[in-house]
Chain A
Amino acid sequence: RKEVEQDPGPFNVPEGATVAFNCTYSNSASQSFFWYRQDCRKEPKLLMSVYSSGNEDGRFTAQLNRASQYISLLIRDSKLSDSATYLCVWGLYNFNKFYFGSGTKLNVKP
C-alpha cells in the first residue's frame, strides 16, 4: 500500500468553480501535513500546511481528519492560474522524513 494515495485526475473545472481534493495516508503516526503545488516542469512549492483545526488561506481551505486518515484541499472561485498539480505530503518530526502523493492534476478552463 502506498504511503499516500491521491486521485491523479485530471479535474477539469470552469473558472469560478469550487473544487476539492482528498488524500489518504497510511501511517497513523504521521505528524505534519502539507499541500504543495507543482507547475509543469517546475519544482514543488509549499501551498499550505494543514493543521488539526483546519486552516484557510484566501480561497484555499485545508482540513485534516486523523480518525479517517485523510486530508483535503478546497479551492473556491478557481482561477486559470490555479491550473497545476497538487501534491499531498505528510511528515514525521523525529526523522524529518516526508512522504509524497503522486499528485492531483487540476485544469481550470475559461
Chain B
Amino acid sequence: DAGITQSPRHKVTETGTPVTLRCHQTENHRYMYWYRQDPGHGLRLIHYSYGVKDTDKGEVSDGYSVSRSKTEDFLLTLESATSSQTSVYFCAISEGTSGKNIQYFGAGTRLSVL
C-alpha cells in the first residue's frame, strides 16, 4: 500500500468553524491532490499541488484553501465550514513522471458539518 495517511479519519463540526485536514505521504511523490466524493458526482478535484508551495485550483475549490510547506504534507482548510461541505475527502499522490502518473489514494476523511 502507498504510504499515505489522512487525519483525522472522521470529524464532526459545526457550521462556521474552521477545519483542517491533513495528508501525509512517505513516498516523496511530487504531486498531491485533494478530492471530495459525493453520491452521484464521483471524485471531484478541489486543489492539487505540483511541488512545495506550488498549488492550483481544481473544479470545486470555492470555500477551500490548501498549503504545502513540505513535500510530505498537504493540508486542506475549510475556512468556515458549511453543510454543503459534508463529504468524504480523499487525498491522492502521483509520482508525476510520464508513464508513471498513477494516482494512489489515502483512506479518506469523513466530514460532517452540522
Chain A residues near B (Cβ < 8 Å)? 4, 32, 34, 42-46, 49, 87, 89, 91, 93, 96-98, 100-103
Chain B residues near A (Cβ < 8 Å)? 31, 33, 35, 40-45, 48, 50, 90, 94, 96, 98, 101-108
B40, B98, B101 — which one has the most chain A CB atoms within 10 A of its CB?
A: B101
Q: Are B107 and A42 in contact (CB under 8 A)?
A: yes
Alpha-carbon gap, A45 to B90, bound state (A): 12
CB-CB under 8 A for A103 and B42, given A43-B90, A93-B98: yes
Q: Are A34 and B96 in contact (CB under 8 A)?
A: no
Instruction: State the Cβ distance, A22 to closest chain B Cβ, in Å.
Output: 16
> By DSSP majority rule, is chain A's interface helix, strand, loop, or mixed?
strand
Instruction: State the Cβ distance, A47 to closest chain B Cβ, in Å.
Output: 11
- The residue of chain B having its C-beta at the shortest distance from the C-beta of A94 within the complex is B98
CB-CB under 8 A for A44 and B101, given A97-B48, A100-B43, A101-B42: no
Alpha-carbon gap, A83 to B106, bound state (A): 21
Taking CB atoms, residues of chain B closer than 8 Å to A42 are 107-108
Instruction: State the Cβ distance, A41 to closest chain B Cβ, in Å.
Output: 8
Q: Which of B31, B45, B102, B108 contacts A49 (CB 8 A)?
A: B102
